[in-house]
Amino acid sequence: MRGHYIIQSGIVRPATLAEWAAWIECSNRQVALTKIGRVGVSTVFLGLDHRFSGTGPPILFETMIFGNKTLNVNGQMMRYCTATAARAGHRAMVERVREFRPRSKMEEIDCGVFGIVPSEQRARYQDLRRKLERRLYGE
């Protein structure tokens, strides 16, 4: 049977099923989240040991790339035993996304407002974007 774990104040410890169930309902398991344009790199604490071989330390953290289906790295995933390794792995995955996907000036602008512009401001944003594109690209 796989072990149950919780993380409190950055310290991972084994937990009973009842402790784990109560903790998982109200916890924020996000370790890191980085957005690059419309691509996200997410690292989470899993709470369950994902080492299926039965030998070695528990695998408790996971980093995954989400977003752009045409990107060669979309869906890539790595798992880690410690929070330190997970944070380092997260940074490595972010760099991998940046290597595969250089950003243009417009993508940098879009990533700052995509999905958070209220609908009543969208027309104004689109007009400003067209003006900026003309300035940047001479169109």
What is the reported pTM? 0.67
Question: pLDDT digit string (tens) for 56-114?
Answer: 899 999 999 888 666 666 778 899 999 999 999 999 988 888 877 555 555 544 444 44
Residue 130, pLDDT above cutoff 80: no
CA 109 → CA 14, 55, 114, 118, 124, distances in Å?
44, 47, 9, 16, 14
* Nearest C-alpha neighbor of 41 from the set 88, 84, 104: 88
At residue 111, the pLDDT reads: 45
At residue 1, the pLDDT reads: 43
Question: pLDDT digit string (tens) for 8-67?
Answer: 888 899 999 999 999 988 888 889 999 887 788 999 999 998 888 878 899 999 999 888
